[in-house]
Amino acid sequence: MIQYQKWKDEIRILITDEQNYGSVQIAIPCYKCNISGKADALIYALYVDSSYRRKGIATKLLQLAEHQIKLNGLQIAGIEFDKEESDRFVLDWYFRSGYKPFSKRSKLLIKKL
């Protein structure tokens, strides 16, 4: 299921996979923010229940999120990664999915779609 929400200064998109207990969210800002000039949209809150992991569900959700960004006419997706909140295997998975650090010290990973 894909739900679009128009807020005052951004578009939010929620993608859920209820069958596999997963979801991901996208924020497309319509204002100057910390990702402006770095990424067009921010993918966040990608989650798959632990009993459903390692089945390609996160990959499918990430691809759906990237597709929604492209459908909105945008080209660069960003994901903020904080090593305090996520395990190293998650960062490695983002790298394998085509995301690269914006800069050496940045927590922002970007991918040209």
The per-residue pLDDT for range 78-100, each reduced to its tens digit, is 999 988 888 889 999 999 999 99
At a CB cut-off of 8 Å and minimum separation 6, what does 33 contact? none
92, 39, 64, 88: CA torsion to nearest 10: 20
- Specify the pairing of strand 10-17 against strand 22-29: antiparallel
Taking 90 as the threshold, does the pLDDT of residue 9 lie above it?
yes
The whole-number pLDDT of residue 35 equals 87
Query: Where are the domains positioned within the chain?
Result: 2-112
In terms of Cα–Cα distance, which of 17, 98, 91, 94 is closest to 52? 17
The whole-number pLDDT of residue 69 equals 97
The whole-number pLDDT of residue 34 equals 82
Whole-Å CA distances, 27 to 19, 49, 78: 24, 22, 10
CATH T-level topology, domain 2-112: Aminopeptidase (3.40.630)
Task: Name the pTM for this structure.
Answer: 0.92
